[in-house]
């Protein structure tokens, strides 16, 4: 990097400015700012053989080796270019795909493509270590097909009935709306609905479905992203609170829900009860399913409360692995998170129909009310 100062001096003459906060992994980072104040260009000077250099070479090789990845990358760039007129917003939005591709190729990012310290602290879906990018294009493309049981009317309608009742005449906000399994039928009931999800691939599937135009869709992290206005209901279903893999991240999710709610508004969580009663002493693995389409099992770590889901699908004679990392939490721990966020438990049921919650209930629907 001995020649970097001279390069920076020359670039300064054509309106580039050094941005030291972007210097990492052997990179010197500069921005060019347009007359209207927007950042129009990024430029990086990379040290040969440094982490930044190696990460970008690895991504180039992944693109060369994978036609599907090239197509995904090109399509994402076109969509983001149409959506963002600021190059920094564009760059942030495409980073998740780059991270996912590097990890899939067996390359661990070491420069700015690695998860930030804030992301690691929160344990959000965009910073989950080895499971980073789980709900990207690969999973989104088959999510509905692999979750057909959860789309059955016998599962969806009781949830929608209850959520519509709790929303009343107010607005509702779904954290991790995904492909719209619950959000679309709830919006069809006339509930004014917004939805947050950090997966552009999942949101793309949602937008393709009839009725999606009724929903205000926001791309972002459910632990930190804000949607304008107040809501009478915020809800999070299908164990998704566990996808935040640290306690700090889960607490932040509760605090974000409370920040969106009006006084008297409700936050609803649907989650499984950790199945530790099924574990013999010293055992850590629980089978989940085994059928012609594949098999799944979960690995519990009772010290860290980590839960590793190992899913394998048989597709066209090949085994497709689909692992995911989670952090499980007991109902009582979720209650304490609610208190930290200024809410209290109002109801806890074993299901959406209001079934009594008992010591043997495998799941719970918990309703928290904001003071």
CB burial of residue 292 (10 Å; 0-12, 13-18, 19+): exposed
- What is the C-alpha to C-alpha distance for residues 300 and 294, in angstroms, rounded to an integer? 20
Strand partners, 268: 235, 367
What is the pLDDT at residue 139? 82
Look at residue 129 and tell me whether its pLDDT is greater than 50: no
Residue predicted with more confidence, 318 or 135? 318
What is the pLDDT at residue 295? 93
Q: What is the dihedral of CA 152, 158, 160, 164, to 10 degrees?
A: 170
Confidence of residue 304 (pLDDT cuts 50, 70, 90): very high
Residues 6+ apart with CB under 8 A from 331: 271, 273, 348, 364, 366
Mean pLDDT of 39-43: 82
Percent of the chain with pLDDT over 70: 83
Whether the Cβ atoms of residue 72 and residue 96 lie closer than 8 Å to each other: no
What is the pLDDT at residue 103? 64
Domains (range + CATH), the chain: 4-114 (no CATH), 146-274+329-370 (3.40.50.150), 276-327 (2.20.25)
C-alpha distance across the termini of the chain, in Å: 57
What is the pLDDT at residue 111? 63
Mean pLDDT of 228-235: 97
Whether the Cβ atoms of residue 221 and residue 116 lie closer than 8 Å to each other: no
Strand partners, 173: 194, 234
What is the pLDDT at residue 10? 86
pLDDT tens sequence across 347-370:
999 999 999 999 999 999 999 999
CB burial of residue 228 (10 Å; 0-12, 13-18, 19+): exposed
pLDDT tens sequence across 244-296:
999 999 999 999 999 999 999 999 999 999 999 999 999 999 998 898 989 99
Give the pTM. Answer: 0.68
Tokens of 183: 């959000």
Look at residue 115 and tell me whether its pLDDT is greater than 60: no
Residue predicted with more confidence, 10 or 75? 10
Least confident window among 48-62, 114-128, 297-311, 349-363 = 114-128
Least confident window among 10-19, 162-171, 284-293 = 10-19
What is the pLDDT at residue 112? 58
Q: E strands, the chain, where?
A: 16-18, 27-33, 39-46, 172-175, 193-197, 216-219, 231-236, 261-272, 285-291, 294-301, 306-315, 318-327, 343-349, 363-370
Look at residue 71 and tell me whether its pLDDT is greater than 90: no
Look at residue 128 and tell me whether its pLDDT is greater than 60: no
Residues 6+ apart with CB under 8 A from 16: 8, 30, 31, 32, 41, 43
Mean pLDDT of 36-44: 79
Mean pLDDT of 175-204: 96
């Amino acid at each position: 990097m001995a020649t970097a100062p001279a390069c920076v001096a020359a670039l300064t003459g054509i309106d580039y400015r050094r941005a030291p906060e972007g210097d990492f992994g052997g990179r010197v980072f500069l921005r060019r700012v347009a007359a209207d104040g927007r950042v129009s260009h990024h430029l990086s000077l990379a040290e040969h053989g440094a982490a930044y250099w190696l990460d970008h070479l690895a991504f180039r090789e992944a693109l060369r080796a994978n036609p599907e990845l090239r197509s995904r990358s090109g399509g994402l760039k076109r969509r983001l270019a149409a959506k963002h007129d600021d190059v920094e917003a564009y760059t942030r939005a495409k980073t998740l795909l780059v991270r996912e591709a590097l990890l899939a190729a067996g390359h661990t990012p070491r420069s700015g493509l690695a998860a930030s310290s804030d992301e690691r602290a929160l344990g959000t879906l965009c910073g989950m270590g080895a499971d980073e990018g789980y709900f990207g294009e690969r999973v989104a493309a088959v999510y509905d097909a692999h979750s057909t049981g959860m789309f059955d009317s016998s599962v969806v309608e009781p949830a929608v009935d209850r959520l519509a009742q709790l929303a009343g005449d107010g607005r509702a906000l779904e954290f991790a709306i995904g492909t719209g399994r619950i959000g679309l039928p709830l919006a069809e009931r006339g509930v004014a609905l917004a939805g947050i999800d950090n997966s552009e691939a999942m949101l793309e599937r949602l937008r393709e479905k009839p009725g999606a135009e009724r929903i205000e869709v926001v791309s972002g992290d459910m632990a930190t992203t804000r949607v304008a206005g107040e809501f009478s209901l915020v809800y999070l279903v299908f164990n998704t609170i566990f996808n935040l893999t640290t306690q700090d991240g889960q607490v932040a999710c509760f605090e974000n829900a409370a920040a969106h709610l009006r006084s008297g508004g409700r936050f609803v969580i649907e989650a499984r009860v950790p199945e530790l009663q099924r574990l013999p002493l010293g055992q850590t693995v629980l089978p989940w399913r085994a059928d012609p389409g594949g098999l799944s099992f979960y690995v519990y770590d009772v010290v860290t409360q980590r839960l590793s889901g190992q899913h394998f699908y048989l597709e066209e004679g090949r085994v497709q692995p689909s692992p995911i990392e989670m952090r499980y939490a007991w109902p009582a721990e979720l209650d304490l998170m609610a208190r930290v966020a200024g809410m209290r438990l109002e109801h806890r049921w074993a299901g959406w129909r209001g079934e009594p919650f008992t010591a043997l209930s495998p799941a719970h629907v918990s309703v928290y009310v904001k003071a």
